[in-house]
Amino acid sequence: MDTVRYRRNDYHLNKRHSEKKHSEKSKISFNAEVIEKKVHKFYLSIALFFGIILSIGMPFFNEPDGVYHFVNSSNIVHLTTDITVYGENSKWFGNQFVNQKPAYQNGDYFKKYFETEVQRMPMNKLPRSTEYPKVLSYNFLGHIVPAAGVWLGYHIYPSMGMMIVCARLLSMFVYTLMLFFIIKYLRRGKLVFTIIGLSPVAMNTFSSLSYDGLTLILAAFLVAVGINMVDKGKITPFNLIPMVIGSIAVYFAAKTNIKLLILIFPIIILSIFMRGKTKNIIRILSKRGRFTTSIVVLIIVLIGGILYARRYGGLGLVIYKLFMNFSYNFNPNINVQDINTVLVQPLATHNMMPFWLTSIWFILILAAAFVETKFVKDPLISYGALGLFVLNIVALYVNFFTGYSSGANAINGAIGGVQGRYVTPMLFLLPLFAGNEHFELKVISYKTVALSSAVIIIISNSLLIFDTLFTILKF
């Protein structure tokens, strides 16, 4: 009897030990379900690691219009400084590293930028005219966090170096934590959001004084609310309230083109209310009715396009330049520059990132979008999201044409400057398009894409640091 009882106890002990061992093994497994549940933790650890390095180690003004962002952040907290003390020429555009190269190469960088105290100056005496930004604008709201960091750095030690580094660190911590909670809150598309958030462009933006950091966060939050609404398939106060709050925040605090994202909600709401009725309506409409509807929609779009294009030389000129861009580009390097700055190269001509990396990133993010769990049933949502993405590209072409003068520029239909960062927030729409249950990508698994993305993310951000510092030290 005792022997039987002993054997039973021994059996239960071995079973518990086996279950515990299996449980511990499952904790470190890398199956798709575990990766999806823990991807937000991966985001936070990688983002903080590289974010701290980028905030402290990168040259100053490493974001587009870097001097402009420092000036505006300083103005908000009434700490307008004369940066000519540091040898800066106060240009808001152009080669923003050229004045830092001698200090890097001579080894007196710390002494010049961190030990030399700033000299305060009135705002109206700045070398380039500026003003206190309007409160209800992205220029003010997007600079609140870096402005707080500038104020903190000044009170730790009043040097430009300390002001910028503290502003970067504060921005990085705030925006990284916000995106971490957005990814955690998200029901679908977590991997896509993680990859976008850990791209060199997003990482560098968060670790800077740019208002683009807030724009990225607001875009991510707004689309996340939409994704959760689609996944639940119903409208409730719990998703209507964040929808309204997110829409208001994007309208006032995000860059102008990102306001297009607000249109995703009418599309989603219409889809939910018309669930199952869209196909019936199309079936009921006669061929003549469909044709008439299409003509009416086309006329409305055409009238809207004509009115919008008047400020840019007219619809004919806009169409001409779009045609020239896609058929004959006088300066293809400009477009390559913009493509690089969507995900990989934060500041073109300064971060000498290899072009092959850009190709890998686009393949990676598209693969991630298509291997995620399918949750979109209505094609109206998928094609609506795609339409907003394309509309944003068209808006960028209209607003940033380089060829409004005569001569060579007149046939250069490319986007001028480094405007790729205006496309980056729109990539959050990808799960709504690729998440359609009719779109299947069976050639690659979720696990493969997730693990590959982890490797590419680490390599890319390491290259961003190396390439930028190597360029400024050697060239």
> Hey, which of 18-22, 229-233, 291-295, 304-308 has the most confident mean pLDDT?
229-233
Compute the distance between CA of residue 45 and CA of residue 231 in angstroms, rounded to an integer: 28
- Which of 17-26, 253-262, 264-273 comes out lowest in average pLDDT? 17-26
Higher pLDDT, 292 or 414: 292
3-state secondary structure at position 120: strand
Residue 420 token pair = 């790729």
User: Average pLDDT of 128-137?
Assistant: 74
What's the pLDDT score for residue 475? 61
Residue ranges of the domains in the chain? 256-474
Instruction: Determine what percent of the chain is predicted with pLDDT higher than 90.
Output: 29
Compute the distance between CA of residue 156 and CA of residue 149 in angstroms, rounded to an integer: 10
User: Average pLDDT of 239-264?
Assistant: 89
What's the pLDDT score for residue 130? 66
User: Average pLDDT of 80-98?
Assistant: 68
Asked if residue 14 has pLDDT above 60, the reply is: no
What's the pLDDT score for residue 300? 77
Amino acid at 438: H
User: Average pLDDT of 23-34?
Assistant: 57
What's the pLDDT score for residue 414? 59
Residue 122's pLDDT band (cuts 50, 70, 90): confident
pLDDT digits (tens, 9 = 90+) for 398-454: 666 554 444 444 455 556 556 778 889 999 999 999 888 887 766 678 888 889 999
Compute the distance between CA of residue 214 and CA of residue 217 in angstroms, rounded to an integer: 5
Instruction: Tell me the average pLDDT of the chain.
Output: 80
Asked if residue 472 has pLDDT above 60, the reply is: yes
- Which of 105-109, 150-154, 374-378 comes out lowest in average pLDDT? 105-109
Asked if residue 24 has pLDDT above 50, the reply is: no
Residue 116's pLDDT band (cuts 50, 70, 90): confident
- Among 171, 194, 168, CA closest to 181: 194
What's the pLDDT score for residue 448? 87
Asked if residue 228 has pLDDT above 80, the reply is: yes
Sign of CA dihedral 329, 334, 340, 342: negative
Beta-bridge partners for 143: none
User: Average pLDDT of 224-237?
Assistant: 88
Residue 124's pLDDT band (cuts 50, 70, 90): confident
Asked if residue 261 has pLDDT above 70, the reply is: yes
Query: In sequence order, which residues have a C-beta less than 8 Å from that of residue 438 and are 6 or more positions away?
Result: 379
Does the predicted TM-score (pTM) go above 0.75?
yes
Asked if residue 231 has pLDDT above 70, the reply is: yes
- When computed from its CA atoms, the radius of gyration of the chain, rounded to whole angstroms, is 26
What's the pLDDT score for residue 409? 45
- Among 203, 195, 122, 130, CA closest to 372: 195
- Among 63, 218, 74, CA closest to 133: 74
Query: In sequence order, which residues have a C-beta less than 8 Å from that of residue 74 and are 6 or more positions away?
Result: 80, 81, 147, 150, 163
What's the pLDDT score for residue 28? 46
